Structures are given as structure tokens and as C-alpha cells.
Chains A and B, each alone.
Chain A
Amino acid sequence: MENKNKLIAAANNLRYEIGENLHDYVIESIYEEASDIASKSVKNNGKTDKFNLDAKIDKIVTSRAWGIPIMLFLLATVFWLTIEGSNVPSAFIASILVESLHPLLRDFVGITLGMPWWFTGVLIDGAYLAMAWVVSVMLPPMAIFFPLFTLLEDFGYLPRVAFNMDNAFRKAGAHGKQALTMSMGFGCNAAGVIAARIIDSPRERLLAIITNNFSLCNGRWPTQILISTIFIGALAPPYLAGIISAGAVVTVALLGIGFSLLLSWSLSKTVLRGEVSTFSLELPPYRPPLFFRTLYTSLIDRTLFVLWRAVIFAVPAGVVIWLTGNIEIGGVSIAEHFILAADPWAIFFGLNGVILLAYIIAIPANEIVIPTILMLTVMATKVAEVGSGAGVMFELDSVSETSAILTAGGWTTLTGINLMLFSLLHNPCSTTIYTIYKETGSVKWTAVATIIPLLLGFIICFFVAQFWRLLS
């Protein structure tokens, strides 16, 4: 016993004598030993060609003149391919799942099986339709975007983007790799949040997760394009309408990037001040991407994974959407009650009750916001000849018909502009919220990531509405 105590005392004394530099010494000697062994047993057969080629590529893609243009060109190509390429398959899937299968299922359950109307409504018009909608709008863009992005990543180019962009992100207190998670967010915010794993510094990773929602995701592009065409394009002479409305959408997307940097900056100075911050960025050697493996893993790991989560959240939301349109209290549906109660408040923000309700019940996916808005508007304004009944989401092929419905619902240019802003600045969809919770393991950060954009959205819409009214 006495010996043991002596030993412990001696050990403690030695600990004080060795001091704090032990870790440095241990690593140093490990490296020394390793390089010793390596120099004895590894022969270098002049494999410098690879290095030279890498160095040449790096010289170009990180150069002052070409670095940024090359990056913008590649990313723009990826987005363009995604948006253009997904139109046809999206329409195809929608024609099968929504236009053909939906009436068939409704007839089958309602007439062949003889189920009551409300059962058919909840199951087919609610749950099934929401799921069908999410799949047809979400699947094609993700199936195009993720493989393309993963190919760039595999080739080794994306770390160079982080390298080029780091200066801007450093000034915002963030990591250059946030440029990548942000780009990923333009595909899908849930995937962008998962992608933040590549950032190993705790503070910067949280920043990337919390601000990812400001990247305009695939589900919001169609909303932006539609509303911009109807309300902004209409302000310009016809031959400029296309360019002006596209410009407005790009402006909203750039605004999102601006907000992302601004919020990163203010969060890193305030609530996230106490988190550890480190920086390291490895630039791996270039290599030809493994095409089929990339295709397979990005489809399975990213596309189907995200889609599955979205479907899980869409099904109950579909039920809720249908129920709000069909449960009646005193002869008026819950949805109309809410819309009537919310309208006087929404007016302060240049929005309306329909929009607010749509953003609450369509929380699982931004893709179903417009169908929900159309359904609610038709219901609230009692336009009889369009739509498929209370609680059944729909979309119209013709922009002018959509415009007619919205105008009948009392929409003005201000409503259009504020909807575009609110579509950028509101809480993330429930799939993303759940993913944020999974990734951070913290209710606090999930709440911050959910509430801050929503508050910002209301504040910005409020001031835009007031200035609009003041100046018009």
C-alpha cells in the first residue's frame, strides 16, 4: 500500500516535470520514426508526372484571372442541366402518378371498394396525392443534380472551390467549405445540411447548417419562376418579360447568398462565439471519377435517402391538407376559418391568409406550396370551374390561368414580390428540420435554424410592404 502511494506520488511529480508539451513531442517522434522507416523501405520511381499535371491544373483553376469564372461556369452548368433536364421527366412522372393513377385510385377505392367519401379523400386525395407530388417534383432534379455534383467532388475540383472562396467566407467568420454546402443546398437543403459533415471545425459546421436554408432549393425554384413570370414579368414590355423575370429569380437567389453570409457573420460574433473554430483544408490530388460508382452511391445515398424522408413527411401532411379543407365548423371549413382570421394580420406583411396557411400545412416540402396555395385560393374565392374540390391540390399548365386565379384571390404585385421573399426566408421544410436535428443532436440549434429565417422573412416582408405602400 505504501509503495503504491509512493509510486503515485512519484508519477504525479514526474507529470509536473514533463509539463504540457508531451503531446507535441509524441507526435514529433511518431513522424520522425515514420519518415525514418519510409526512407529505408520506400523507393520513389520518379512519379513526378502526376504531380506536374496536378500542379498545372491547380495553377489554372485557382488563378486570379480564371479561378472564379471557371467556378461560376461549372456551377451554372450544373444548375442549368438540373433545371432544364428535369422538366421532361418531372412532367412524365406527374402524368403517370397525378394525372393517370390518381383518378384511377380514387375510382377504385371509392367506387369498386365502396369506401365512404371521407376515407377516399384522406387516403387518396390527401396522403397519396401529396406523396405523388413530392416524388414527381423532387426525384428528377435530385437524380440529375446529385450525380453531377458528386462527379465534380470525386474529380477533386470541389475542394479547390472551397479554396478559392475561403477569403469571402473567412470574413463572414465561416469556412470556405461552406461554399460547397451552400451549392449543395441549391439542390436540396436537407442534403446541404448533411454535406456540412465535411467541415471539421464545430463553429463553422454549425454556421453552415444553420444558414443552409438560405440557399434556394430545387423545391423553391419553380415557385420563384412561376410567381416572377406572373407578377414581375408582367410589369415589363413583352419582349423583355422573360429576361426581367429570370433576373428577378436570380436576384432572390443572390439575396439568399447575401443573407447566408450576413447571418454567418452575425452568428459567429454572437451566439456561436463560444464554439471552437479551427481551419484546415486538404486539397486532394485530382483523379478520374469512377462514373458508375458515383452514379450508384449518389442515387442511393443522397437521392433516395432524401426522397424517402420527404415522402415520410409528405404523407401525414397530405392528410392534414385534405382535412383542413374538409372538416367544417358551422358550415365553413377550418382552412377558411384560418384564412379569414389571418387575413387582417397578413396584410401588414404584404401577404395573405392563404399564403400563411399554405406555408404551415405544406411544411414537409416546398414543392407542394404552390398546389396548396392554388387549392386554398380557389376554395376561399369560390371559383367553381377550376380545381378538383376542397382539399385536393392541383396545378395548372397555363400560366395565364394560374395568374387569373391568383388575381381573383386578391394578389397584387406586392403579394407576388413578398411571396418570393417569403419563399426564400421562411422556416426550412420539415425534412430539413429533422435532418438538422439529426446532424446537430441539439434542440437548441434546430430551433435557431428554424426560427431565425422565419423571423427574418416576416421582418423583411413587413418593411417591403410598408415602403411599397408609402411609395405607390
Chain B
Amino acid sequence: MDNPLLLIFAGVVLFIITPYLIFSDKGIFNKYRKSKKLQDKEFIENALKFVYDCEYRGAACTINSLAGNLRITTDHCVIIVTELLRLNLIYKIDDRIVLTPEGRTYALRIIRIHRLWEKYLADKTGINEKEWHYQAEIQEHILSENEADELSAILGNPLYDPHGDPIPLRDGEIPPKKGIPLTRLVDGDFAEIVHIEDEPDTIYAQLTALDLHPGMKLRIIDSNTQKIVFECEGDEKILSPIFCANISVVKIEHAQLQVKEYVPLSTLEEGELAKISGISKSIRGLQRRRLLDLGFVHGSEIIKEFSSPNGDPVAFRIKNSLIALRKEQSDKIFIERV
């Protein structure tokens, strides 16, 4: 027992390898959490959500498409549909599955919780946006309607989730879908992103990696069947049409958007004066509010005063006070040189 080498080996296993195997991202703990089987209630609620989504998109919903969406066998799907029919939440016209009024209310309730939770994660926590959807998928089956009301009140009764999807009101429908797919724009069009579809995961991950968010304005440079090139907040982005189909936009008048507006604050030289033209939509929640409260609003004059020994952060004079910002923030604040 007192051989140091043996003890070092035991220590490494006990203190380093075991905790890693249990608690890391790919560890036992996480695997167990992810492998938990869905309950019947969750299947039913997910099915209702999908049927609602089909109706919203104006597509037909069949047992096959439902089974595909829920990732279950057709046999299993038939059991769930039978249960839904028994609960009087859906009815069938030939092969098509349609929601009854009760079914629609139920589906809207789930969607409301899902989107409120995504909004909550976006505004009140620092959880990465790639995890929002996954966490909301779990939470939508857990929160009660009253808890959802409380959550909505805390968030200031928001109308849109962070992807730009409208959040249903407590007993209401949701407003009709806004916008057109980005693929329908032609060269030279100006538009504002109103919605980014969060499914499927792979496409959404790609879109967030490009830092695209609802509320951003863009200009089409070149749109063809191979690729779409557009300029968004001063950056040129290239996407294939498959990806662009998941972005909805509304066209805006030419005059509202000038490309020169999107000069990041971080390009300012020492002692140079500029005017704030806006804050990027990718800054949200508490951080956005803080910047606005400090005076980073359209039209404020700003001077770069000095940098810290390593060049980051940088002190700016705005509204007669000195505020230090990190580069990751001054990259997301846009100015107009004067």
C-alpha cells in the first residue's frame, strides 16, 4: 500500500479518469440523460406539434410523414394516432391527419411553452444557441400552463422567440407566417431577416455559425441556383440555396439600408470621432440592455480614448463618460465616421 508509483497510478484513475468518464460531455452521466426513453405523453405532444406545423405550412400530414418526424416505426405511429383519435384531438380525412379544435389548442399550448423557453434561454441565461432547441424540446413537456404564464410575464410577454417564430398568446392563435424564403430574392434586393428555422440541426448550426439572426438587414449581391452571395452587417456571406430556404426575409425599401452604416466600432483609430449607428442583433438580452443604458444608441457621439496594455479592452468616451469595451463587443457596434 505504500508504493508511491502504485498510489500515483491509483490517484490518476480515481481523481482524473473516473470523473472524466462520468461527468464529461460524452460521459456516462450525459449518455444516460440522453438515452432516456420518451414517455407516451411526450410522443403525443410531439405528434400534435408536427400536425400543427404541417397545417401552418399548408402541407398534408400522413402517418408516414408523422412517423418520419418522430423517428419511430410506422407501427408505433399507428398506436399513437389511435390514441390521439380516442382523445378526440385529431380526426382523419382519407389519409390526412387534421387537428380538432381541442387538438389545436393543445398543440398551441406546447408550442407556446417551447418558444417561451427558447426566449428565456436566449434572454436570461448564457446557454449557447445551439442548445436552445434541444432544451426547449424537454421543457415543453414539463412546464404547466400557469408556469408558462409566469415565465411569459417575467420575460415581458414576448411576441417572438429568438428564431423569429411568433409565440402564441395564452388562448390565441398565432399570426400568419411573415416573409418569404431568401431564395426568392433577386440581385440587388434589400431585405430584413425575420425568421431562421431551427430544424434540422445541421443546417441551423451552420446558420448560427455564420452569425445570422432575425432583425439583421442584408443585400443580395448574386443569387443563382448554385449559390447565393449576400452582404449582411458589413460582411459578405455565401450560402447554398438549401440553406437559404431556411431563412425567411421581408423586403425593405432601398433607402433604409446603406452599406456604409455597418462599420464596426473596433475599426476606430485613437482620438477619432464617430457616431453610433446601431448595435448588431446578435447582442441580446442583458448585454444589449446594458449597452443601450450606457448610451450606445443611434446618433451618440463616440471617441476612442486609449487601449489597455494588451490592446483589449479599449476605453471610449461616450456621453461624457469613459466606458471600456472588449473587442468582441466593439465588433458588434456599428458607427458612421464624421
User: Which one of B126, B311, B315 has the greatest number of beta carbons of chain A within 10 Å?
Assistant: B126
Residue-by-residue, is B168-210 near A (CB-CB < 8 Å gives 1, otherwise 0)?
0100100100000000000000000000000000000000000
| In contact, A28 and B298 (Cβ under 8 angstroms) | yes
Per a CB cutoff under 8 Å, which of B126, B294, B324 touches A283? Answer: B324
Least CB distance from A2 to B in Å reads 17
Task: Tell me if B5 and A62 are in contact (CB < 8 A).
Answer: no
Q: Is B124 an interface residue (CB 8 A)?
A: yes
> Closest residue of chain A to B162, judged by CB?
A20
Residue in A12, A201, A283, A459 whose CB lies within 8 Å of B315: A283
How far, in Å, is B120 (CB) from chain A's closest CB? 11
Q: Is B238 on the interface with A (CB-CB < 8 A)?
A: no
Please tell me if A203 contacts chain B, counting CB pairs below 8 Å: yes
Whether B215 and A164, one on each chain, are in contact in the complex, defined by CB atoms closer than 8 angstroms, is: no
Assess whether A283 is in contact with B322, with CB atoms less than 8 Å apart.
Answer: yes
Contact B323 A282 (CB under 8 A): yes
Which interface class (under 10, 10 to 19, 20 to 34, 35 or more) fits B?
35 or more
Question: Is B305 an interface position by the 8 A CB rule?
Answer: yes
CB distance from B272 to the nearest CB of A (A): 15
Chain A window 35-58, contacts with chain B (Cβ cutoff 8 Å), 1 for yes, 0 for no: 000000000000000000001001
Contact A280:B8 (CB < 8 A) given known A20-B158, A59-B306, A166-B308: no
B11 touches A58 (CB 8 A): no
Bound CA–CA A15/B157 (angstroms): 10
Known: A59-B306, A274-B127. A463 touches B8 (CB 8 A): yes
CA distance A15 to B285 in the complex (A): 19
Instruction: Tell me the complex Cα distance, A62–B319, Å.
Output: 22
- In the complex, what residues of B have CB within 8 A of residue A68's CB? 309
Minimum Cβ distance to chain A for residue B149 (Å): 15
B313: Cβ under 8 A from any A Cβ: yes
Which residues of A are found within 8 Å of B324, using beta-carbon distances? 163, 166, 280-283
**Residues in A neighbouring B312, C-beta threshold 8 A:** 166-167, 170
Q: B199 to nearest A CB, angstroms?
A: 22
Give Cα A58 to B298, complex, Å.
28
Say whether A10 faces chain B, with CB atoms less than 8 Å apart.
no
A284: B residues at CB distance < 8 A:
321-322
Shortest distance between the CB of B219 and any CB in chain A (Å): 20
Complex Cα distance A276/B290, Å?
A: 13
Cα distance, A319 to B228, chains bound together (Å): 77
Give the distance to chain A from B137, nearest Cβ to Cβ, in Å. Answer: 17
Which 5 pairs across A and B sit closest by C-beta, in order of nearness?
Answer: A283-B322, A470-B4, A167-B310, A281-B324, A278-B287
Residues of A participating in the B interface, judged by any CB pair closer than 8 Å? 12-13, 15-16, 19-21, 23-24, 27-28, 31-32, 55, 58-59, 62-64, 67-68, 163-164, 166-167, 170, 176, 200-201, 203, 273-285, 348, 459, 462-463, 466-467, 469-470
14 example contacts (A-B, Cβ-Cβ < 8 A) are as follows A13-B175, A15-B159, A24-B292, A28-B297, A31-B300, A62-B306, A163-B313, A166-B308, A167-B309, A274-B125, A276-B285, A279-B287, A279-B326, A285-B322
